[in-house]
Copies of this chain bind each other. A is one copy, B any other.
Amino acid sequence: MFNIRTDLAVESREIYKEAYKEEVPGVDIETEESENYTITRVTINNEEGEKKLGKARGTYINIDVPGLKNTDQELKDEISKVFAKELKSICKNDENTKTLIVGLGNWNITPDALGPKVVDKVLVTRQFFVAYNKERDETVANVSAISPGVMGLTGIETGEIVKGVVEKIKPDLVIAIDSLASRRMERVSTVIQISNTGINPGSGIGNKRIGLTEEYLKVPVIAVGVPTVVDAATMVNDTMDLIISSMKKQAKVGTDFYSLLDDISKEEKYSLIKEVLEPFMPNVVVTPKEIDILIEDLSIIIANGLNMALHHGIGLEDVNKYIR
């Protein structure tokens, strides 16, 4: 996919459509619009779809909330509930499901700290099931949570730590929370992606080499992510495209120019940008300066949604009640 760095399936599809002017074959799209948000469900059905989008087969739900950067408590609560509903639909969990929440990322690097921050806020209950030696409870399900850290801090692949814990505590379901990279700055902290494909090597900010997938962990893995960074080269690339198309529309320059720009293929252009930027900023990913506040808000929205989706006794009306 032209090496454009994105962890969002909707962006992969967007890039494909921009390039080929057609919908991606082997992929179903479903859109649901509301006043404050749009839900897009991208389902990759077969190998062709996998190859075209460069993403694993499965369903990717994107909740896109342009206004999420603002401090509107009602909107936040609304999105917690929407997220809870979508998560529950994809997890297919019930009161007997034992869930392990995994907060991926580095707690010392703010844009990478979403996962650990969610783990710190979510309601965990497994210890009571163990202490009272019971299998089920009237109001809560069996939920545990870990923040394994990143390889740079631990010296250990995140996947190995999670697998070690999964083998010990044997959950029925793993939900992994991660910070993602997007191609566009306006998507940073405004999109929540939920997918049933797990987390694949190289995705997220932390460049994992072992994935967190059902194949590896032997339990279903749901991935929840929010873009918190943009790859600088991607940002420059996309802006140049916008500029060229803007110049075309405004006919600010002669006609020869267009044909010349069309001569440079997309791949060529992107690698040119990479080459030029490399000496100055090797693999720079950038983040908005308000990221501390954005991550704090997002971690509450997601922890809230997890509480409502996982525990049968916690309803949508209980938003904010069980946040630590």
Interface positions of A (Cβ within 8 A of B): 71, 73-74, 107-112, 119-120, 124-127, 130, 142-149, 151-157, 160-161, 163-169, 184-186, 205, 229-230, 232, 235-236, 239-240, 242-243, 246-247, 252-254, 256-257, 260, 263-264, 272-273, 275-277, 280-281, 284-293, 320-321, 323-324
Q: Is the CB of B109 within 8 A of A293?
A: yes
The listed residue with most B CB atoms (<10 A of its CB), out of A154, A167, A275, is A154
Contacts of A205 in B (CB 8 A): 289
Q: With the chains together, A256 CA to B256 CA distance in Å?
A: 8
Choice from B109, B119, B125, B293 contacting A290 with Cβ under 8 Å: B109
9 smallest CB-CB distances across A and B, nearest first, come from: A126-B155, A164-B164, A286-B286, A124-B155, A144-B155, A164-B168, A185-B281, A236-B239, A242-B276
Stoichiometry, copies per complex: 4
Contacts of A286 in B (CB 8 A): 185, 230, 232, 235, 286-289
Choice from B148, B156, B260, B287 contacting A289 with Cβ under 8 Å: B287
Q: Is the CB of B264 within 8 A of A260?
A: no
Contacts of A126 in B (CB 8 A): 155-156
Q: Is the CB of A153 within 8 A of B168?
A: no
Contacts of A161 in B (CB 8 A): 146, 164-165, 168
Q: Is the CB of B273 within 8 A of A243?
A: yes
Q: With the chains together, A246 CA to B276 CA distance in Å?
A: 7
Shortest Cβ distance from A205 into B: residue? B289
- Indicate whether A146 sits within 8 Å of B148 (C-beta atoms), given known contacts A236-B235, A287-B289: yes
Contacts of A275 in B (CB 8 A): 246
Contacts of A240 in B (CB 8 A): 236, 240, 243
Q: Is the CB of A277 within 8 A of B108?
A: no
CB distance from A89 to the nearest CB of B (A): 24
CB distance from A290 to the nearest CB of B (A): 6
The listed residue with most B CB atoms (<10 A of its CB), out of A107, A112, A149, A157, is A149
Q: With the chains together, A112 CA to B290 CA distance in Å?
A: 9
The listed residue with most B CB atoms (<10 A of its CB), out of A153, A257, A289, A324, is A289
Choice from B156, B289, B291 contacting A127 with Cβ under 8 Å: B156
Q: With the chains together, A235 CA to B152 CA distance in Å?
A: 29
